[in-house]
Structure 1
Amino acid sequence: MLRRPRARLRGSVRTILLAVAAVAGLVTVPALTATAITGGAPDGEGHPNVAIILFYDEADHFRYRCTATLVTPTVLVTAAHCTAGTAGKTIASFSSTISETAPSNIPTAPDVAADGTSQTGYTQSGVFTDTRGRTWHVGAPHAHPQYSDFTDLKNWNDVGVVVLDTPVTGIAPAKIAPAGYLDTIAKSTLAHTLFTIVGYGTEVRKPDSGPQKPTALSYPLIRRVADAPGQKLTPQILQVNGNINDTRGTGGSCFGDSGGPTFRGGYQVTVTSYGYTENCRYLDGLQRIDIPVVQSWLATYGVRPAA
């Protein structure tokens, strides 16, 4: 079955969903209720170390968005399908609310506001404040060198990082799970184990007007959180049931949540990788970061698991 990256590009939902190489983006999508990833609830300041990341091309034009987690003062961990093949700068914000309604007024370039004015402090510090008072951190993206680009489930390695120009202060980094942490969950209890998914993805719900078919919508563009029960664990992937109608949990990931964290037991255990349906009501595929092939690569950026 075609696996759809939990990312969002400019263009129609169908075009994005059918593009196997598609990556995350910002422009138009939703979740089943007005307050969710798909279900779930607004995160507020529940996970202040989770950021939205915006990617630009080499001409500094905005391309797409993903979600990431601060794991050291200068490193964000995300999905490789977000960071692979990028040419321009990347910026990240830890603001829990990016925009309640259109327009989002995201920076049109890493150092230019939506109104065309230069951002304050960008050239000096790698950190700037935009016209809405949101703080953005500038960095460079990198993808795992063994990322299989959705072609080899046994060697998925859908993990990337964004290395920030300057350290983030005042936000405690997330703790990466020790190696093999997810393997300690008994197969018989996986379906009754909840995993907390966080991201800036879209909502899927009935629109306010027009055909009342649940649709991926763009606003509000905020950080959300949902709990999803486990479904399957492989050496590379944790799959969870992200259906909001599953009474064991509260929802799952959707477009724009790519690269966002999943937490269990106080540790980050995965990054969001893919989903199976365009209405975000089925299985979510989450790339494990508690495995040696990922942890040894993250260590080259100074990222190490909890003891």
Structure 2
Amino acid sequence: MERENHQQRALRRAALAAFASLCSIPLGAGSAWAGPGEIEQSNPQSIVNGTEVGNCGYPTAVGIGWDEENIRCTAALVAPDVIVTAAHCLDGVDPPMTAHFGEVFAEPERVVDVESCEINPDWDGNDPDVAYCLLAEEVLDIAPTPLAAGCESELVVPGVELEIVGFGVSSADYDPDLPESFPYETAGGGIKRKTTQIFEGIFENDYQLWMVGESGNSACFGDSGGPAYLRLGDGQVRVVGLGQQIHPDTPDFEHPCGYGIVYASTLPHLAWLEQATGRDLTPCFDNEVWAPTSACDGFAISPDLENGTWAQGCTGGGTSGLVQTCGAPWDGEGGEETTTGEEEESSSEEEESSSEEESSSSEEESSSEEESSSSEEESSSSEESSSSDEGSSSEESSEGWAEDEVGVGSESGQGDSESGGFGPGFEPERGYCGCSSEGRPRFGASLLLLALCVGRRRRRRAQLAGGGA
């Protein structure tokens, strides 16, 4: 019994270490073990008991390797030139040379060179198992899958389904004749497959997402660094984790792949990833707060659907349009406005013109006051005149009002429209005063009111032109 327990512990350590050390996986013929070894591709499977992804399915799940035949890990495209993967995939080795897009690593639809990679500086060999690589060129025709953030991350609760995708092996069986460093015979690597897992909880200082699936259904060697996708209500998906290790509670380490799996959570590392890459990897959020930018748009809907072609960008279920998952979509605002030299010159001319108008307005106001005083005297004189003179004066006043009314309307750019000139009421934003055309006053009073209205309107125009309230 003691010997059996010792063997189980040794197998457990070997399985956990093997998943975390991941040797490259040649896809040609070779021995069926993976020490600094080889994993034979004997059948077209990868994720254990998963479903093979068809043409264009989950296009942002990519394979990374050192040549066209050796896949090491899986990764996820989260920005046009950024892929994220597990730190243990890059620890102690040169960065991968290429990222392979497609369904079969050895027969990629597209190969993009890797420019550089970086491991999380806090990586201690166990956690945080997060890293990224910058691609040598942007992938612009395939919508990236953003990292979950803000209110999206609140959906990661026990019991929720997560979708895992990878190029790993489909089986791993213990063989005592194989080296202790990796005593497993494996098969099925290099084909992209998918399956679902049930999220159990976040453990190990919030670094690890523990998941279990149906019996015999899980990730395996080679799926490391691959994405765990969270599906939103409208069919969009977000990356919440990266393949890390075999589930510690696996009951049978002679057959380690099939009970459950542990993924490294990306949620605590958003700030580091954005700072290190220099890219906005959460275009709908600013420091976990909903603040959509113009890039918060056009994410894939149901990327598992096998629609479109790689030449046309793999359309899946279409794209999201402006996203409003956690609030209102981008409204077209934001960013700094630049002023050209021509605009500055125009602004200067407008200010100069405004200053001249203000000066003219002051002179006109003074003139209006004198005219008002003269009008009062004339009004007094008119009251002493005969009734016929009064009628004549009243007729002249009516004609003068009508001319001034149209004239003011024309000056304001409104012409004879209903809103132009002096209509009933006062509209502060236009500077109109409500001098009624009904029940007109006698000649002297009408001139007084006209002068006051004109002066008030011109002062208002001067204030508006000068930026006043």
Give me the TM-score of the superposition, normalised by structure 1.
0.67
Q: 2:160 aligns with which of 179, 184, 193?
A: 193
Distance 1:166 1:242, change over 3 A: same
Partner of 1:109: none
Pair 1:178-2:139 in alignment = no
**Quick check: 1:28 aligned with 2:40?**
yes
Contact kept in structure 2, 1:26 and 1:64, CA below 8 Å: no
1:281 match: secondary structure? coil
Select which of 75, 100, 109 maps to 1:93: 100
| 1:282 and 2:251 matched | no
Structure with the higher fraction of residues in strand conformation: 1
Change beyond 3 A, Cα 1:51–1:15: closer
2:165 partner amino acid: V
Matched, 1:137 2:103: no
Residue number in structure 1 paired with 2:200? 231
1:296: which partner in 2?
A: 271
Given residue 65 of structure 2, which amino acid in structure 1 is its aligned partner? L
Which one-letter code corresponds to 2:221 in the other structure? F
> How far apart, in 1, do the equivalents of 2:164 and 2:42 lie?
16
How many residue pairs match? The answer is 238
The answer to whether structure 1 residue 70 and structure 2 residue 77 are counterparts is yes
Residue of 59, 68, 71 corresponding to 1:48:
59
Checking the alignment, whether the CA contact within 8 Å between 1:263 and 1:269 is kept in structure 2 is yes
Q: Contact 1:49–1:70 (CA<8 Å) still a contact in 2?
A: yes
* 1:144 partner letter: N
Which secondary structure state, in structure 1, belongs to the residue aligned with residue 267 of structure 2?
Answer: coil
CA RMSD of the aligned region, Å?
3.1
If you compute each CA radius of gyration, which structure gives the higher value, 1 or 2? 2
Equivalent in the alignment of 1:257: 223
The Cα of 1:27 is off from its aligned counterpart by 3.3
1:105-254 superposed matches below 5 A? 134-139=109-114, 140-150=116-126, 156-179=127-150, 181-182=152-153, 184-186=155-157, 190=158, 192-204=159-171, 216-218=186-188, 221-234=190-203, 235-245=206-216, 251-254=217-220
Separation in structure 1 between the aligned mates of residue 42 and residue 271 of structure 2, nearest angstrom: 36
| Secondary structure of 2:261's aligned partner | strand
Against the structure 1 CA distance between its residues 263 and 88, is the aligned structure 2 distance closer, same or farther, given a 3 Å change threshold? closer
Q: What is aligned with 2:445? A: none
Output the amino acid matched with 2:87. Answer: A
The CA deviation at 1:205 is 7.8
User: 1:73/1:284 Cα in 2 relative to 1: closer, same or farther (>3 Å)?
Assistant: same
CA contact (8 A) 2:73 2:167 kept: yes
**Alpha-carbon shift at residue 135 of structure 1 (Å):** 2.5
Q: Contact 2:76 / 2:85 at 8 angstroms: preserved in 1?
A: yes
1:38 matched residue in structure 2 = 48
- Counterpart of 2:353 in structure 1 is none
* Structure 2 counterpart of 1:48, one-letter code: P
Quote the residue 2:298 is aligned against.
none
Residue 30 to residue 269, structure 1, CA distance change in 2 (3 Å): farther
1:199 CA displacement: 0.5
Q: For the Cα contact (< 8 Å) 2:51–2:195, is it kept in 1?
A: yes
* Structure 1 residues 54 and 26: alpha-carbon distance in aligned structure 2, compared to 1, 3 A threshold: farther
User: TM-score when scaled to structure 2?
Assistant: 0.46
* Offset from partner CA, 1:138-187 (integer Å, 9 cap, x none): 1122211111112xxxxx1111111111111311100110057545544x
Residue 58 of structure 2: SS of its match in structure 1?
Answer: coil
Does 2-11 or 272-281 show the bigger shift?
2-11
Partner AA of 2:168 in structure 1:
G
Q: CA deviation at 1:261?
A: 0.2
Identity of paired residues, percent?
A: 24
Measure how far apart 1:297 and its partner are: 1.3
Structure 1 CA distance for aligned equivalents of residues 38 and 81 of structure 2: 24
Whichever structure has more helix as a proportion of its residues is: 2
Residue aligned with 1:259, SS: coil
> 1:270–1:48: structure 2 CA closer, same or farther, 3 Å change rule?
same
Which secondary structure does the structure 2 equivalent of 1:97 belong to? coil
Segments of structure 2 that go 5 or more residues without pairing to the other structure are 1-11, 174-183, 232-236, 248-252, 286-469
Q: Which one-letter code corresponds to 1:161 in the other structure?
A: Y
Q: From the superposition, tell whether residues 298 and 96 of structure 1 become closer, same or farther in structure 2 (CA, over 3 Å).
A: same
Residues of 1 paired with 2:79 and 2:141: CA distance?
12
CA contact (8 A) 1:146 1:157 kept: yes
1:70 offset after TM fit, Å?
A: 0.7
Structure 1's unaligned 5+ residue stretches are 17-21, 99-103, 105-131, 151-155, 207-213, 246-250
Q: CA deviation at 1:222?
A: 1.4
Task: Output one character per residue of 1:15-54: Cα deviation in whole Å (capped at 9) or x when no partner.
Answer: 64xxxxx8xx8633689xx655111201222211111100
